[in-house]
């Protein structure tokens, strides 16, 4: 109990001391410390104190910020967007069309291309050109009819003149005499698909059909009308199966030979399907614009594919070469130790 009383008295005494008294005591204490502290030696240099950073074991770990998503990165207004990599409104069935394109390319590489190469080697170039002229000459009446439907009687008369000249002087169209002097009547592409486009009918959905290739709903309907009216415009023999199948085979092989460089060029694109689709749609639109007088009339080969888009070159990671480390050969250490052998019993040295 006495200890408790003493502790209580000490607490009361400490509480009764004023802050001013505490400050006076602190000043006095510091003054006495200054008087008693030894003066520093002016000769001895003071070594600098080097503070090493101490690892903060309990410091919070800073987590690096995650990179923003691609759709959150702001793009400049002048950024170029490759439309060939995206879906276009004219191609609502892109997945089906692309699968058809890939299947046709597989068949082309395995069957059509080798046949076309054989056809090119077996048939001389003048003969191939003559067959091509013959098949084009048969389409002239339908071309002239569509010029009339487009209210272009002058072009229709020129086309009929071409047909008459090549069918007679050109030996049934085997020789294109009309495009040379003094006639100067070049071949002009036309058909019901062009007439539909001329009067503002839209392309409709885009298709890639196995036996037709790239086309649209408008163009495939127009092509069907062209093929249907050709026998009536030219003559009954065009309905014979020999011409129908024979003409289709010759036209397909010749077209494959003529477009071999184009197909090779398209395969260099990063997206061959989209590039072929874009080329077809732009070519067709250019031809229709020419019919409307918005550009020079479309001639064969005037619409070309833009410069190739180089494929991104992905370098494969180098294959690690296994390094064979020879096992360390232990070094032989020779140790010489004295051998002490006990003398036999009863041994006495000689004297």
d(CA 74, CA 52): 44
CA distances to 122, 189, 191 from 300, rounded to whole Å, are 26, 8, 15
Q: Which tokens go with 107?
A: 């068949």
* 207-216 own/partner pairs: CB under 8 Å, 24+ apart: 207/93, 207/97, 208/97, 208/98, 208/100, 208/101, 208/104, 208/273, 208/277, 209/100, 210/100, 210/103, 210/104, 213/104, 214/276, 214/277, 214/280, 215/280, 216/90, 216/281, 216/284
What does the pLDDT look like over 66-113, one tens digit per residue?
A: 544 433 433 333 333 334 445 678 899 999 999 999 999 999 999 999
Mean pLDDT score, 233-261:
84
What does the pLDDT look like over 197-246, one tens digit per residue?
A: 999 999 999 999 998 999 999 999 999 999 998 888 777 677 777 777 88
pTM over the 0.85 mark: no
CB atoms within 10 A of CB 191: 20
């Amino acid at each position: 109990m006495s200890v408790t009383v003493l502790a209580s008295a000490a607490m009361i005494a400490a509480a009764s001391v004023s802050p001013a008294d505490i400050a006076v005591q602190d000043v006095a204490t510091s003054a006495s410390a200054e008087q008693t502290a030894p003066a520093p030696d002016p000769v001895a240099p003071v070594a600098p104190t080097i503070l090493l950073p101490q690892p903060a074991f309990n410091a919070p770990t800073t987590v690096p910020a995650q990179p923003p998503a691609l759709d959150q990165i702001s793009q400049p207004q002048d950024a170029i967007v490759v439309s060939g990599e995206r879906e276009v409104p004219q191609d609502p069935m892109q997945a089906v069309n692309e699968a058809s394109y890939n299947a046709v390319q597989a068949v082309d590489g395995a069957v059509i291309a080798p046949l076309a190469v054989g056809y090119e080697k077996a048939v001389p170039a003048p003969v191939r050109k003559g067959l091509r002229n013959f098949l084009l000459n048969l389409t002239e009446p339908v071309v002239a009819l569509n010029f009339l439907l487009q209210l272009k009687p002058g072009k229709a008369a020129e086309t009929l003149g071409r047909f008459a000249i090549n069918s007679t002087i050109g030996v049934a169209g085997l020789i294109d005499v009309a495009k040379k002097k003094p006639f100067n009547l070049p071949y002009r592409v036309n058909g019901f698909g062009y007439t539909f486009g001329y009067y503002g009918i839209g392309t409709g959905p885009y298709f890639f059909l196995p036996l037709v290739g790239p086309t649209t709903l408008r163009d495939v309907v127009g092509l069907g009308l062209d093929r249907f009216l050709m026998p009536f415009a030219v003559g009954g023999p065009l309905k014979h199966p020999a011409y129908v199948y024979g003409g289709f085979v010759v036209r397909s092989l010749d077209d494959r030979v003529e477009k071999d460089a184009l197909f090779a060029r398209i395969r260099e694109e990063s997206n061959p399907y989209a590039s072929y689709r874009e080329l077809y749609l732009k070519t067709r639109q250019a031809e229709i614009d020419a019919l409307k007088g918005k550009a020079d009339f479309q001639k064969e080969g005037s619409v070309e594919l833009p410069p190739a888009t180089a494929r991104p070159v992905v370098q494969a990671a180098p294959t690690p070469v296994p390094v064979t480390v020879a096992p360390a050969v232990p070094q032989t250490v020779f140790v010489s130790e004295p051998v002490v052998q006990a003398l036999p019993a009863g041994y006495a040295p000689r004297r």
